[in-house]
Amino acid sequence: MFSRLKQSVAKKIRLGSRKKTAPASPYPLIIPRNEHGLSRSNISEAALKVLYRLHKAGYEAYLVGGGVRDMLLGREPKDFDVTTNATPEEVKALFRNSILIGRRFRLAHIRYGREIVEVATFRARHDAGEESEGVMKDGIILRDNVYGTLEDDAWRRDFTVNALYYNIADFSVVDYTGGLEDIKAGRLRMIGDPLIRYREDPVRMLRAVRFAAKLGFRIDEDNEQAIRQLGGLLADVPAARLFDESLKLFLSGHAVESHDLLRHYRLFGHLFPQAEHWLRYEEQHFPRIFLLRALENTDARLAAGKTVNPAFLFAALLWEAVRKGAERLQEQGEKRLPAIQQAGDKAVSQQVKNVAFPKRFTLQSREIWEMQERLAITHGQRPLRLIGHPRFRAAYDFLLLRAESGEQVAELASWWTEFIDASNERREVMTTRTASAKKGRSRGGRRRPKAPAPVAN
């Protein structure tokens, strides 16, 4: 399908013949049904119902964004977003099974069983309507409910590859911004001046990283320079919104690539400053290898169709800060478990200023950290009680991750692996070992560096 699309685009666009931020001609590039290969069989039944009903009611109706992009790339689309010239109120009147959501972007959500189809009205740039409709502060868009035409809508979207439209009226693909050409080149490019667009919404820099990681595309050179220059603007984004974006970055199946690109463009430190600090002061490739293994495990679980608890990821991101903080407190005379608890509290309070992980996750992360010390007690009734703890599996997996990454807990991890699968008789033998054997068991740690690393602020 894509090879045929390449030939079609080549006929209509002369590569390099236009400016990066201007359309190839006064008219959109329209790829007819017989030249692009997109099939309605790849579109969900719910999305088709929405498109057809809007069209039959006399409105324009297009599939837009990632669904169109992914189908052109030969991938299975996961999201089907619809855009139309019908206002949100008109959409709601047409669909009984719809609700209107959002203040900054007014949208209609139409539910069919478990599937929700998102419908947005064509929007224009904030300065294309009345002054009161588009609200900005210091170059950042606060509200954006200025309605416009299909062309207006295309030019206000973020990346060219996300500004492609599938027209249900004649089954053509419509391209105003050169997105087809960029898909062919494997290039991610912001629509318009990237310096202006990233200032409008700094989160677009994180979206650039996410799409580049997901699609395997390279980021356009002008966009790269803008990201390096404006990364500090993420400090102006609410920490709760950055939590949502962080989940998309790390729980989309491309966590390793996202991490690598975030660090490459110096954005990671704006999200997770404590983790970035300790990554700069590696000891025998730790904590880098620990964090990468955690991200690899996250990707593997998602690829296998398993769930991932954000609390585990949060615990991995801050583990080095917690471990180092606990070591300092122990040197001052504090016992191990209270030291971990205090270091965990401090790490969380600092982190949520940047990325506000909800309390329900930070509480679970604290339990995972604290249980690393509880797991070190392998005699008496404690192991039997721990194995029934709701956070035991996550804590055990965390212990295995530490062992795999070089911490001196391999013997302890092996003990728990055997204990989990052991019979009741074998468990009784394992938990009645002598005190001298218990004393020899390591509780973690690695060889200290000659000079301690500076402490993160």
The residues, any chain, with a CB within 8 Å of residue 347's CB and separated by 6 or more, are 274, 318, 321, 322, 325
Is 153:161 a contact under the CB 8 Å cutoff? no
Q: 29: which 2 tokens?
A: 């590039």
Alpha helices (H) along 265-407:
268-271, 273-279, 288-303, 310-331, 336-351, 359-374, 382-386, 392-404
- CA 252 to each of CA 31, 70, 398: distance values in angstroms, whole numbers, following the listed order: 30, 15, 21
The answer to whether 153 and 159 have CB atoms below 8 angstroms apart is: no
User: How far from 230 is each of 159, 200, 204, 262, CA to CA, in Å?
Assistant: 17, 11, 11, 13
Q: 47: closest CA among 89, 103, 95? A: 95
User: Which residues, 6 or more positions from 197, have their beta carbon under 8 angstroms from its beta carbon?
Assistant: 158, 190, 191, 204
Element housing 10 (H / E): helix 2-12
Residue listed under structure tokens 């975030």: 262
Specify the amino acid at residue 43. I
Q: Tell me which residues are annotated as active site.
A: 79, 81, 158
3-state helix, strand, coil in the chain (%, to 5): 55, 10, 35
| Residue at token pair 């060219």 | 160
Which helix (H) or strand (E) covers residue 160, if one does?
A: none
Please give the structure tokens belonging to residue 119.
Answer: 């419908």
Q: Closest Cα to residue 419, out of 391, 398, 392, 390?
A: 392
147 contacts 121 by C-beta, under 8 angstroms: yes
101 pairs with which residues across the strands? 107
For residue 310, give the H/E element and its range. helix 310-331
Separation CA 279–CA 373 (nearest Å): 24
